[in-house]
Amino acid sequence: MSNKRIDQPTGTETVGHEWDGIEELNTPLPRWWLWTFYACIAFSVVYVVLYPAWPMIDKATAGTLGWSSRGDLAKEMSAADAARQGMIAQIAATDIEALPASPELMAQAIAGGAAAFKVNCVQCHGAGAAGYQEYGYPNLNDNDWIWGGTLTDIETTLTHGIRWEGSDATRVNYMPAFEGMFDAGQVAALTSHVLSLSGKATPNAAGATLFSENCAACHGPAGAGMPEMGAPALNDAIWLYGGSEAAVRKQILAPRHGVMPGWKDRLDPVTIKMLAAYVHSRGGGQQAAPAAEPATDVAQAPKAETDG
Amino acid sequence: MADHKERDWSGALGSAAPQPAPAAAGPAKIELYEKGKTVHNKRIDGPFRRFKWLVMVVTLAVYYITPWIRWDRGPYAPDQAVLVDLAHRRFYMFDIEIWPHEFYFVAGLLIMAGIGLFLVTSAVGRAWCGYACPQTVWTDLFQHIDRFFDGDRNARARLDKAPWTAGKITRRTSKWAVYLVISFWTGGAWIMYFADAPTLTYDFWRGEAAMVAYATVAILTGTTFWLGGFMREQVCIYMCPWPRIQTAMLDEKSLIVTYKDWRGEQRGSLKKAAKNPDAYGDCVDCLQCVAVCPTGIDIREGQQIGCITCGLCIDACDKVMKDIGRPRGLIDYATLEQCEAEAAGAPATPAWKALLRPRVFIYFGVWGAIGAAMLFALGARTHTDLTVSPDRNPPFMLMKDGSVRNAYTLRLRNMEARPRDMEVALTGLPQGAVMWTEAVSMDNAAPVQVIAVPANETKVVRAYVMLPPGAAADSFSFRLTSLDEQREQDLAETRFAMPGNE
């Protein structure tokens, strides 16, 4: 570096490089900058000792403080859980039919249920709880309830499931398959009669006779259904497996039976209660008042015990 | 007298201007870094000084007292006249209450403040810098404290150089203690704008206020102590962008503080002038203009970035001129154009004539138009608002009897500081359409519902609308009416989804 020299106008040494007559001055870094830089180095040394820093084969060095972002999250989650405990205990202590009387508690229960619904229920019933007709997953927003739509009914369904082998108290029923029992004309007449109950076809006498002999025992003479044994109403606009003639005929000949798991072993009773509140709040929930429609009268019986 | 065409303004460029290197060889070095020199400005009295006192008292009073003004807004809103309630997202200013969605009012105020600075600059030059800027006001305040503890200019300069005796240490500590008290008070007043002042003061001293309050006070105490106590004019000269912007806005028609060199030069003492009257101008080179300058510049070097146009040098020079019996105004507010004309022999123009220029009126017009538009918008705004978002999943719900139900999330906004009942009605739906909400059961479904909305809040309501079997619709409106004497209305159009039109 023989080219180093003192630059006349500034009195600063050059670094010795020269490009087409342009030279670079060896200007020192400002002192404040240097000290900031040294402070950063000192800080990084302390940081490396205290916190996770060096990446190793499987994970980074742990640091002496034992801090981790996972640990932070766990702490925040347990703090949030602890903050919820009061509300959870209150819901646990409140009878489910008494929940709507306290709007604040009901709102909390609905919010908790909405969260649990997103984790446990959307897989079959959909994010909007509207179900999937092609698979027979029922819509939970409407006011048609195969097994009853009061808070208690919904809670029972959630706890024990439907045709679920894991619980003795599960809701179970089977509709016999009529494949081979009727000839084609009888099937057509019966299908037409079933559709006529909701005004979708014209009534016919042959179908009516077949219906009263084979179907009315469960579905009722007018097809109003029987929620206490899970016989769906046939005189309304809602069809679990579809309301076309083909779908109804298929269901008469080879009925499908959906299965819903009970949640008593997977969710705690408070979560189930909150889920029931959420499903009930979707717009079709039924009141448990005695003055409800006749079809739900019998559904009061088991609830009377829990109320008492 | 020097020809005005050849006036040399090179002094305005400051000491960093290139100087010819000495011919002698060796490490002749230009200092690129100039160490700050403390400015010890001399006490002066005069019209501009008194005006500066007045502005200082008014601005400090506004700053410290405003948060303590009470303003009755009824039981549902805070009673502080000016309050930036960040926690509840409200901005209160006397009778005006701004919600976050009306932030354009604040943006408008900021735009008005910006154009206001342009307006002031085009009318009276750097008057903001000279009188009203917080940096100027607090610097002025701290310089008076210096004078109170250490005496006037010369005494202060002597004390700076004096060794650290017990007396100097006492003076310095007590002075800095007063600095600190003022700085703390400045930071303390700032947080009062963001919470109820009496409550916050009480909590603050009991150690129960929010951490952010203590942090804010600590930071503002530090910056006031440092910027007001020590940085002072260096903030204006090196840190503040505004002087740079103003240099771009000033022209030969702008009002500035200027030294009338054609009258002052050649500078000379009274004695010299007495001997040779024709060779000397009015400036007696007494340096009083330099002594009183709060930023430590020599105005006789011409317009420069360090000049905040506070006019104290005018006071100083006028006083000297009066004493020696020469006409006032050797240093005065004038435009460069007026100076040129005067130098060429025209009679002196009153400074206020500089105000009458199109630029001033255009800025004032724009500024006033924005202000008027905002006032109109404030007066015409409604305190009731409804927004609707339909449920998308599922878009509609078929009920047992074939009715079709849609669900909506309604947001009812009540911007008044009292709870109000609001009526939500369905319009544009066929006969038989009903609605109900989470709070109103389906049994009580009706075409009209009345919802109580708490004071100063947006109430979120989930509402269901149902059409009887056979009826069809694809769009309709919710009409919101406040059930009070104002009967404010808002209409929110939305869709109605049905099988076939989803």
Is residue B323 classed as helix, strand or coil in its secondary structure?
helix
d(CA B348, CA B338): 7
Query: Is B400 part of the contact surface with chain A (CB cutoff 8 Å)?
Result: yes
Is residue B65 classed as helix, strand or coil in its secondary structure?
helix
Residue-wise pLDDT tens digits, A25-83: 888 888 999 999 999 999 999 999 999 999 999 888 888 998 999 999 999 999 999 99
pLDDT at A3: 65
Query: For residue B400, which residues of chain A lie inside 8 Å, CB to CB?
Result: 142-144, 233, 236-238
Whole-model pTM above 0.80? no
Query: For residue A11, which residues of chain B lie inside 8 Å, CB to CB?
Result: 27-30
Smallest CA–CA distance, residue B400 to chain A, in Å, is 5
> For residue B25, what are its two tokens?
């060889």
Smallest CA–CA distance, residue B168 to chain A, in Å, is 29
- Residues 6+ away with beta carbon under 8 Å from A109: A91, A99, A273, A274, A277, A278
Query: For residue B28, which residues of chain A lie inside 8 Å, CB to CB?
Result: 8-9, 11
Do residues A277 and B441 touch, judged by C-beta distance below 8 A?
A: no
Residue of A nearest to B32 (CA): A10
Q: Do B397 and A9 touch (CB under 8 A)?
A: no
Q: CA angle, A167 as apex, A165 and A168 as ends, to 5°?
A: 100
- Residues 6+ away with beta carbon under 8 Å from A269: A92, A159
Residue-wise pLDDT tens digits, B238-282: 899 988 888 888 888 888 999 999 888 889 888 888 888 888 889
Do residues B386 and B490 touch, judged by C-beta distance below 8 A?
A: yes
Query: For residue B398, which residues of chain A lie inside 8 Å, CB to CB?
Result: 142, 237-238
Q: Do B407 and A283 touch (CB under 8 A)?
A: yes
Residue of B nearest to A291 (CA): B443
* Per-domain residue ranges of chain B: 47-247, 255-358, 384-495
Residue of A nearest to B24 (CA): A8
Query: For residue A224, which residues of chain B lie inside 8 Å, CB to CB?
Result: none
How many other C-beta atoms can be found within 10 angstroms of the C-beta atom of residue B59?
17
Q: Report the complex ipTM.
A: 0.73
The fold of B384-495 is Immunoglobulin-like (2.60.40)
pLDDT per residue as tens, chain A (308 positions): 456 788 888 888 888 888 898 888 888 888 999 999 999 999 999 999 999 999 999 888 888 998 999 999 999 999 999 999 999 999 999 999 999 889 889 999 999 999 999 999 999 999 989 998 888 899 999 889 999 999 999 999 999 999 999 999 999 999 999 998 999 999 999 999 999 998 888 889 999 999 999 999 999 999 999 988 999 999 998 999 988 999 999 999 999 999 999 999 999 999 999 999 999 988 778 887 554 344 433 433 333 333 33
Number of A:B CB contacts under 8 A? 65
Smallest CA–CA distance, residue A55 to chain B, in Å, is 36
